[in-house]
Amino acid sequence: MAAQSNAQVGYRCHCTALRKASRRVSQLYDSALAPCGLKATQRAILTQIARSEPAAIGLLAEALVMDSGGLAHTLKPLVRDGLVTMKVNPDDRRNRLVSLTAAGRARVKQSDRLWGEAQRAFEKSFGTARSRALREAIDLLISDQFANDFQAAAD
C-alpha cells in the first residue's frame, strides 16, 4: 500500500500553514501599498518607530517579534532611501537608536490611506467577526505566555 501524504491523513503543520497565510496576506498588502513604494513589513517597521522613537534596535526588534539581525537587514533600504536614521545611543554606545526622518514621516502618512483600504478589503473579504477572532488568535500567538506554554508543552 502506498504511503499516505500528510494532507491525506488530515495532518497539517501549523507553522507551515501560518507562514503560507502570512505570505499571502503580505502579498495582498504589498500590492495595496505599492503606489507609495513601501512593503507591508517596511510600513510596520516605520509605524513602530513612529510610536517609540527614538527606538533602540533591540527594543524595536522585540516589539516587532523579529531578531535584531533580521531587523538590521530590513532597515538598510529604509536608511538608504532616507526614511530613517540610525545613530549611536549616547547612553550606551554599543547600541543604535532609530528615528524617522521627515521623509519617513511623509511616507507613513502617504501609506495611511492605502493601508486603510487594505484593512477594509481584508475585513470585507474575511468578515468582521472572523477578522476579530483572527486578531485575538494572533495576539495570543505572539504573546510571551504562548511562547512559555509552547516551551513547557515541548519539554
pLDDT in tens, 82-133: 999 999 878 877 888 899 999 999 999 999 999 999 999 999 999 999 999 9
Backbone angles phi, psi at 11, to 5 degrees: -85, 135
Domains defined for the chain, CATH in brackets:
20-114 (1.10.10.10)
Hey, what's the cell of 100?
524617522
pTM for the whole structure? 0.81
pLDDT tens string 46-67:
999 999 888 888 889 999 989 9
User: Which residues are paired to 88 by β-bridges?
Assistant: 96
